[in-house]
Each structure stands twice: as structure tokens, then as C-alpha cells.
Structure 1
Amino acid sequence: MGQGLRAARNARGWSQERLIFEIEGYARRRLLDVASTASLRTYVSEWENGRRAISERYAAILRPLVGATDAELRGGPERPTVQQPDGYEDLLSRIDSARNISESMVQTFLDQTELLRTMDRQMGAAGLVDQMTGHLAAMEEALTFAVLPSARRPIATALAGAATLAAWQALDAGSVDRAWRHYELAKRAAQEADAPLYLAHAMGEQAYVLSDAGRPKMAVELIRDAQRTHSERQSPRLRTWLSAAEAELCAAAGMSDDAQRALGRAMESLPDGEETRDPDMPSVFLNADHLGRWRGNVLALLGDAAAMGDLYTSLQSTDPTFVRAKAGLHCDLTQAHLSRGEVEEARSHLQQARLLASRTGSVRHRRRVELLTGRL
């Protein structure tokens, strides 16, 4: 029963004492009452060994601390929806409610996704697990009971964008299974909405799951398939994003020439101007500065000395609210300095990466930090 808690704790490199410290800090900041330190030691041990069920009171604290859903935390299935005694009456009530969803309600869904994206960028994904779970559930509920295509498509489009964001957050928080399932949800929603940009973007991000899982060649195949998905309907900025992602995934797979070619396509296809958001797809942030940072990442992975200039330029220009991106930049700089044998500089950047990964609760970046630490 407590295997999920133990796994989530271990993914962050926390001891049981560290988890207790975090529980107490969380409770103190929110003026919540929790048991004494000695009692919490007993609780954590019993939770993880299955001798005590995690109460809702403590589950509400643990979910944002370790970035796990309730099912992941407790190691059981999601709670079933309570069925109403009069099935037809309840069904028609839900259908009527879905039919009445207006454009303003869909815009509310989109605004909530944007808020969660901003919070994720600044604070990390772990603390948003409850909000994102509820957000997706509300949109899935609306889509389930929307009948006509005119009502379903706007909701499905909103769901595709939100599910893709939720998947990336889950991946960052170390919940690979949840990330994969959210990407599948995003793809289904995009297909229903006839939204090829959202479908290609979800496929492109999903390729990173395969790469992180040790299937880099399969990841490259998926990102290339994403590029072929209704390519004639893809926006220039999305095409640039997909090419840059292909370059990174090829570099991770050791396909140097392919990475360089994909990087060249990305540099050539980027739209002019300082605009960062794709007007056709707000999920994509990409301008010359972002692409420069991405180029530095790819070159660092390839061990190319040219990476250094791009990375230091990006370090100076990156929006300070992109905390997770800065963690990645410091990892890239660590790798670039190591390839040149500059150990002290590498250590300095690795320390910054470690601090930022800890600040955002990024399990994904923490794993990369551990791999780089092994090279020092």
C-alpha cells in the first residue's frame, strides 16, 4: 500500500527524515496541525510498510510534496465515481450541462491551463498535482457528456493542450506511467478535435518519455512521425519546434549527423520577429533566444565546443521565471565544460543545477544531475 510513497520519496533522493522535515515545513507554512516529529517517524515507516493507511489529511500534504496523484501515493486504483440511483435522470442532467457549456466556459478552461503552466514554470510541477488532476477531470467530464461535434471540438482542443501540459509535468515529477497516459489522452482529444498541431506536439513530447526510458531510436522514430502528421497543416513555429526536438533526440541517440541536419532545419524555419507564442497553438514557446538555448543543448550533448557561446548567451537572456529551463542550462554548461576538461567550472554549474532542480522538485533534472555528478 505504501510502495507508491516510498518510490516517490526515493525518486527525489529523500530519506524518511527529509520527508518528515518537508511535511513539517509544509504544515507550518499553511498553519496546519500535524503530529509530533516522533509520531511522524512512526507514521512514515508504517505508511511505507503498509501497516497504516494514509489518511486524507496527510495525503493532501503528501501529494503536492512528492508530486503524486492519490492513486500513485496509496498504490491503488483511482476512486470510482459514485453512481446516482436514477441513471437516466443523472445522464440527461449531465448532457444538458455539457450542452450549455459556452465559449466563455471553454475560455475558462484555457485560462486555467495557462495559469497552471505559469505556476509550473516558476514553482515546478510537484505542487500542482491536485490542481491539474481536478482540471483534467473537469474537462473530461464536459467532453464525455457533450453530444454534438460543435460542442465537443472546442472542449477536446482545450483538453488536448491541458493533457499535454499535465503529461510533461508528470514526467518532470518522475511519474512516467502517468505521463504516458496523459499523452495518450492528449492525442485522442486532438484527433477528436481535428487539431493536428496539438496531435503533433503531444507526439513530439511523448518521444521524450521513450528517450528517457532508454529507447532513443524509437524516440527518434516517433518525433519524425509527428513531423509527418498533417505536415501541410502545421504552423512554421511548430515545425521549428519539432525539428529542434528531433535534433535533441538524435543527439541523445548518438546520431550526430542527423542531429546537425535537424538543427539546421530548425534554424532555417524559425519565423522572424521576437514573438514567442505560436498564435495557432499557445503551448509552443519559441523564438531566436529559445532556439539558441536549444542549439546549445544539442551541441553540448554532441560534445561540440561551439555549445559554450550559445549556452552562456542563453544564461544571460533567459527569462528568470523559467526556473526549470535554467536548471537545464546549468546541466548543459556542466556537460560542455566537462567535454573541455574544465572540472571546476563544471562543478560550479552542476551545483546551480542541483539547487534549481531541488527548488522545482524536478525528478527529471535531478536524474541528469546525478548522471553528471558521476562524471566528475
Structure 2
Amino acid sequence: MPERASDPITIPESLWRRPEMIEALKARDIGHLFRLLRQYAGASQTKIATMCGMAQGKVSQIMKPGGSQVTAFEVIARIADGLDMPDHARINLGLAPRHQTPDIPEDSPAAEDHATLIERLRTAKAVDAEVVTVLRNETENIRVLDRRLGNVAAAERMRAHIRQVETALRHSLPGKVRRSLAYILADSSALAGWQAIDAGNLTAAWDHFERAKLAAREAEDYALLAFAQGEQAYVLFDIDQQADARELVSDAYTNYGKLIPARLSAWLKMAEAEIVAGSTLPDHRDEKSCRNSIDEAMRLLPDGDGDAELPYVALNATHLARWRGNCLVHFGDSETIGDLKSALSAMRPGAYARAEAGLRCDLASALFAQGEIAEARAEIDAAAQLAKRTGSVRQQRRIDQLAARVTLAGL
């Protein structure tokens, strides 16, 4: 009989013990796992999809080197169940075994797996305040790289950092250190989510933000929870679910606004203003509502460049002026050009390369609306160079669309 997609994959027991398979499982690298199944078990994408309860197209995306990541716990557990992973493989993947064996010979594979688990628990116990500081600093280092050089320079380093922190958290016991690890995981995951948005990988971004919110809840940190939810709204916005995007960021402000620092509340109101301004839905693109959110953000914003407890929020008067211009350019505000030029002159060169690309694109749009074609083209060229340097797919898409409009107008 011909082979059917519903037929189970025959996976040799030896495959689960291959060094490269163990490495893929410990790293939760599902793409590598699927590629090994294809290489050593002859499993097609269709069969893998059928057994794991996924769409074939999704499996294809995951299997591509550097493709979609799988981070959601329930999806990882479904894959393990679908492939009928033996317990030692499940443990390497960070899942609980399905079968408990009370008496295990010391030289058995399961005993070896238990020894590995015990070693991980011991390693997690070695995480103290000094190690927590090192891990926090690594998040900050990656944040600086991301702001100045973009996603290309920071993404791989971020993936390794998240794996390290998540492994330590998963094997740590309740207490101050575990809460600190949860905070670092939430902060890092939110940053990874924004990197994924910038790279145009919105499915991965959503998963990063879900992990960030779960970790923020364990860390008992409402500020990080609200921030991750606010950034997650941009995933919805970028897939044209604009009403849902506004609802998500508004929900974060409503539920956590009284529990979080004023600077973050201002950030949430500006995010709401941007979503309203950029909406393509007539019922949601409302200038008055946008201006009300901006005014509220300006009222809430405290003095100074930032707060020590909010390293992930870059919002001061200069940033807000830039953001205000980004919003009001959609409504043809005549003051937008002045606001954007002031924000650009106040921006420290090289400090926020991706933000500068967006600012120059906004300025080009405002200049174009005023008929200043030559100046608009100059800003588009500058923005394009920055977007290329930072690897910002999101900004490049905006720049390409605006450049096409300017070119057409100049014909």
C-alpha cells in the first residue's frame, strides 16, 4: 500500500540519543529537531505536521535555518506527545517524564537522565546575587547593541541569553533569586519580541511577548507585564488587526496604569496614539482621540531622561516630540516638520539608529505632504541607509512605500 501522511513516523530509539539530537532538545531548537527527523527517520514535512498537530506550512517555516522559533510551552509539549518522545528525550527538552519508574538501575539511561537533572538543579542553586547581576548586565548590553546596531547584531546573542536564563529559572527553587531570574527573562523576552517585530517575524514576536508576560507575572512586576502587553499590540497592528491592537494597549493602561511608574504610563498612551494615528480603519483613525492620548502622555511624562527601574523604556521629552510628530504626520499637521527636525537635532548620533531611521522616514513623509520633494528624497535616502545597517525589515517596508509615492509624484 502507498504511504499515507497519517501513518506514524518510525523514529529509531538511537536517534534520540545522538549528540546532535540531545543538543537540539536541550536548546529547544525545534527546527533542528525536525531536520534531524527528516535526515535520520525520513520524515516528510507533511508527516511531521500531522503527528505534531501543526500546519505543513508552519513546519516548513520552522525547519528553515534561522526560521520561526517555537517557544510556547503548550506547543512544545504537543510536539513531544505527537512524536511519542521517550522520557529521557522529554527531560532533555525540559518536560516532565510521562512514566515514573521507582527502581532504576544505576547504569540505566534513565539514571543518567536523572543525574543530568540533578546537575541542572545544582547549577541553578549556584545562581546568586552576583550571577543575577551578570545576567541583568547582559540584557543591558544586548539592549545597547540593538538600539545602536539593530537586530542583526543582537538577535543571536539574545537567543543564547534567553536559553541560559530560562534554563536557570526552570530549575531554580522559589525565592528572591527565582523572581530575579523571572524578571530578567521577562525583560529579555520583551526585547526579543521587539527585535522579531523589527525583523518582520511576527509569529515569533507574539511568542516572545507571551513568554515575557508569563515571566513578568512570576516576577510579580506589573511594569514589565504592562510594557510587554503594550509592545505586543504592535504585532496585532502590523497584521492589520488594528482594533484589537488598540484594545490590547488600552487594556494595559487601564489595568496597570495606577500600579506602574508615570513614565511607563506615558509610554502606553503614546503607543495608543500611534496605533490610532496609523489605523487604516475610518472608525478608529480619529485625530481628536490621538491628540487626547498625546496630551495625556505629555501630562504624565516626568522630567529626566529615564528611570532606573525602567531600563527598557526610552522616553524623554525629545523622544516624545519625535513620537508626537510620528503620530500627527498622518493628519497633515503643519507643525510636524518643526517638531521632527527638533527631535532629530536633539538625538545623539548613533545612539538610536532604528529610531532615527523611523524619525527620518516621518520627516520625509511630512516634507512630501508639504510639496518639498527634494528634501523628502534626501531624508528617505538617509533613512534607507540606517534601516539597511540595522536590518530593520519593518522600517525598510515603510521607506519603500514612501519612496514609491515620492517617485510617482516626481514623474
The answer, yes or no, to whether TM exceeds 0.5 is yes
Partner of 2:402: 372
Question: What aligned pairs does 1:1-376 form with structure 2 within 5 A after superposition?
Answer: 72-73=64-65, 83=92, 85=110, 86-253=112-279, 254-272=285-303, 275-320=304-349, 321-376=351-406
| Aligned length, in residue pairs | 308
Q: Which amino acid aligns with 1:267?
A: M
Q: How far does residue 346 in structure 1 lie from its aligned partner after superposition? A: 1.4
Q: Is the 8 A contact 1:183 1:202 kept in 2?
A: yes
Mapped partners of 1:141, 1:365: distance in 2: 33
Q: 1:76 to 1:171 in 2, by over 3 A?
A: closer
Q: Is the 8 A contact 1:220 1:249 kept in 2?
A: yes
1:45-74 per-residue CA deviation (whole Å, 9 max, x = no partner) reads: xxxxx9xxxxxxxxxxxxxxxxxx995526
Greater RCO (CA < 8 Å, at least 6 residues apart): 1
Mapped partners of 2:340, 2:386: distance in 1: 17
Secondary structure at 1:278 match in 2? coil
Mapped partners of 1:347, 1:131: distance in 2: 35
Which sits farther off after the overlay, 299-308 or 81-90?
81-90
Q: How far does residue 91 in structure 1 lie from its aligned partner after superposition? A: 1.8
Q: How far does residue 327 in structure 1 lie from its aligned partner after superposition? A: 0.5
Mapped partners of 1:262, 1:144: distance in 2: 40
Secondary structure at 2:311 match in 1? strand
Q: Is the 8 A contact 1:299 1:305 kept in 2?
A: no
Q: Is the 8 A contact 2:329 2:336 kept in 1?
A: yes
Partner of 2:19: none
Compare CA radii of gyration and give the structure with the larger one: 2
Partner of 1:66: none
Q: 1:72 to 1:111 in 2, by over 3 A?
A: farther
Q: Is the 8 A contact 2:273 2:290 kept in 1?
A: yes
> RMSD of the alignment, in Å?
2.3
Secondary structure at 1:229 match in 2? helix
Q: Is the 8 A contact 1:241 1:266 kept in 2?
A: yes
Mapped partners of 1:368, 1:208: distance in 2: 15
1:272-330 per-residue CA deviation (whole Å, 9 max, x = no partner) reads: 2xx32222221111111111111111111222111111100011110112111110111
Q: 1:318 to 1:70 in 2, by over 3 A?
A: farther
Mapped partners of 1:103, 1:318: distance in 2: 35
Secondary structure at 1:170 match in 2? helix
Q: How far does residue 120 in structure 1 lie from its aligned partner after superposition? A: 1.1
Q: Percent identity over the alignment?
A: 38
Q: How far does residue 140 in structure 1 lie from its aligned partner after superposition? A: 0.5
Q: How far does residue 90 in structure 1 lie from its aligned partner after superposition? A: 1.9
Mapped partners of 1:72, 1:194: distance in 2: 36
Q: How far does residue 150 in structure 1 lie from its aligned partner after superposition? A: 2.8
Secondary structure at 2:313 match in 1? strand
Secondary structure at 1:131 match in 2? helix
Q: How far does residue 145 in structure 1 lie from its aligned partner after superposition? A: 0.5
Q: How far does residue 82 in structure 1 lie from its aligned partner after superposition? A: 8.2
Mapped partners of 1:75, 1:162: distance in 2: 20
TM-score with structure 2 setting the length? 0.71
Which sits farther off after the overlay, 245-254 or 136-145?
245-254
Q: How far does residue 231 in structure 1 lie from its aligned partner after superposition? A: 2.3
Structure 2 unaligned regions, length at least 5: 1-37, 39-60, 71-75, 77-88, 93-108, 280-284, 407-411
Mapped partners of 1:342, 1:150: distance in 2: 57
Q: How far does residue 240 in structure 1 lie from its aligned partner after superposition? A: 0.9
Q: Which amino acid aligns with 1:327?
A: A
Q: Is the 8 A contact 1:236 1:271 kept in 2?
A: yes
Q: How far does residue 219 in structure 1 lie from its aligned partner after superposition? A: 0.8
Q: How far does residue 333 in structure 1 lie from its aligned partner after superposition? A: 0.6
